[in-house]
């Protein structure tokens, strides 16, 4: 099995680095990829759930820091 890696970028998208299938609420596959996928976090993408770079235009800010145990 491949290693699963999800990266939360500062002020940008989630990056999924593993084979992924994304399915909508109608159970239809909207993306089947063995490559890197970028998912929107700002909520303003015109290509949801995928990132289209709008976060840069609107000044989206979110820096995720690890929580201490």
CATH code: domain of residue 26: 3.40.5
Give CA–CA dist 36/58, Å, rounded. 24
Would the pLDDT of 2 be above 80?
no
Q: What pLDDT digit, counting tens, does each position of 17-60 carry?
A: 988 899 999 999 998 888 899 999 999 999 999 999 999 999 99
pLDDT of residue 12: 97
Helix (H) or strand (E) holding 58: helix 54-58
The long-range contacts involving 25-34, CB below 8 angstroms and separated by at least 24 positions, are none
Q: For position 69, what pLDDT does the model report?
A: 64
Give residue 38's domain range: 6-58
Query: How many domains, in total, are found in the chain?
Result: 1
Torsion 53-51-59-7 (CA) sign = negative
């Amino acid at each position: 099995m491949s290693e699963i890696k999800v990266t939360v970028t500062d002020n940008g998208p989630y990056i999924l680095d593993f084979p992924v299938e994304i399915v909508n609420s109608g159970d239809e596959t909207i993306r089947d990829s063995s490559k890197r996928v970028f998912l929107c976090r700002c909520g303003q993408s015109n290509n949801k759930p995928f990132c289209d770079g709008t976060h840069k235009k609107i000044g989206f800010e979110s820096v995720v820091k690890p929580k201490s145990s």
